[in-house]
Amino acid sequence: MKLQIASKPTKGGRTCRRILETASAMMAERGPDGVSMREISARLKITKPVLYYYFKDKEELIKAAFIEGTKHFDELNNELNNPSLTLEHKLARIFSNHLDFIKRYPDMPKCALKIMASPSSGVLSSMAIELKHRNRTALRKILEATAGKEGISRSGIDVILHMVSAVIAHFMIEAREQGAASLDKKLPARLARLICAGARHVKTVLIIILFIPMLSRAQALDLSVDNAVDLAFKNNTSVMTAEKNRAIYKEKIKEYWGGVYPQLSAGASYTRNIEKSVIFFGGQKIKMGLDNSYSGSLDLNQVLWAGGRVRTGITMAGIYSDSSSENLRAAQSGVKKAVKQLYYAVLLSKAMAGIQKETLELAIQHLATIEAQYKQGLASDLTVLRQKVEVSNNEPAVTQNLNYYEEGLLELKDLLGLEPDSEIKLSGGINCGPALPGSLPELYGAAMAKQPQYRQARLQKALAVENVTLEKAGHYPNLYAFASKQYQGQTDSAFPSGEESSWSTAAGVKLSLPLFAGGATMSRVKQARLELDIADENLKKAERELKITVKKAWLDLNEAAQRKAAQETSVETARKALTATEIRFKNGLAGQLEINDATLALNKAQIFYTQAQHDVCSASAELDWAAGE
Q: Is residue 94 part of a domain?
A: yes
Same domain, 208 and 83: yes
Output DSSP code: residue 436: P
Domain boundary among 185, 219, 253: 219
Residue 88 lies in a domain: yes
Same domain, 88 and 159: yes
Same domain, 185 and 289: no
What is the extent of the structural domain holding 502?
262-305+477-513
Beta bridge partners of residue 267, listed in sequence order? 297
Same domain, 90 and 202: yes
Say if residue 81 is in the same domain as residue 182: yes
Element (H, E) at 113: helix 108-117
Residue 211, pLDDT score: 46
**Which pLDDT score, from 0 to 100, does residue 502 have?**
92
Q: How far apart are CA 344 and CA 611, in angstroms?
A: 10
Cα–Cα distance between 552 and 618 in angstroms, integer? 13
**Which of 333, 340, 399 minimizes the C-alpha distance to 38?**
399
- Does 75 share its domain with 159? yes
The amino acid that residue 465 corresponds to is: V
Residue 288 contacts residue 279 (beta carbons within 8 Å): yes
Residue 459 domain-assigned (yes or no): no
CATH code where residue 496 lies: 2.20.200
Could you give the number of structural domains in the chain? Answer: 2
**β-pair partners for 286:** 279
Cα 163 to chain center, whole Å?
32
Instruction: With a cut of 50, list the residues of the chain below it in pLDDT.
Output: 1-9, 120-121, 202-218
**Is residue 464 situated within a structural domain?**
no
Does 501 fall in a domain? yes
Q: pLDDT at position 270, please? A: 92
pLDDT at position 155 is: 65
CA-CA distances (angstroms) from residue 623 to 432, 549, 568, 570, 629? 13, 8, 23, 27, 9
Q: What single letter denotes the amino acid at residue 490?
A: Q
Residues in CB range of 27: below 8 A, 6 or more apart: 34, 35, 62, 65, 111, 114
The pTM assigned to this predicted structure is 0.55
> Contact, 446 vs 628, CB < 8 A?
yes
Residue 97 within any structural domain of the chain: yes
The whole-angstrom separation of Cα 453 and Cα 458 is 9
Q: Residues 183, 273: one domain?
A: no
What's the pLDDT at 208? 43
Domain boundary among 190, 219, 248: 219
Nearest alpha carbon to residue 165 among 91, 101, 68, 76? 91
Name the nearest CA neighbour of 164 among 201, 130, 207.
Answer: 207
Give the list of residues 6+ apart from residue 33 with CB closer than 8 angstroms, or none. 118, 122, 353, 357, 398, 402
Q: Is residue 229 in some structural domain?
A: no
The set of long-range contacts for 601-604, using a CB threshold of 8 Å and a minimum separation of 24, is 601/574, 601/577, 602/359, 602/362, 602/571, 602/574, 602/575, 602/577, 602/578, 603/355, 603/356, 603/359, 604/574
**Residue 142 included in any domain:** yes
Q: Is the distance from CB of 165 to CB of 218 less than 8 angstroms?
A: no
Verify that 289 and 207 share a domain, yes or no. no
- Based on the domain organization, do 142 and 277 belong to the same domain? no
Check whether residue 215 and residue 266 sit in a common domain: no
The CATH code of the domain that includes 79 is 1.10.357
The predicted pLDDT at position 315 comes to: 81
Q: At 617, which amino acid appears?
A: C
Q: 195, 219, 243: which is the final residue of a domain?
A: 219
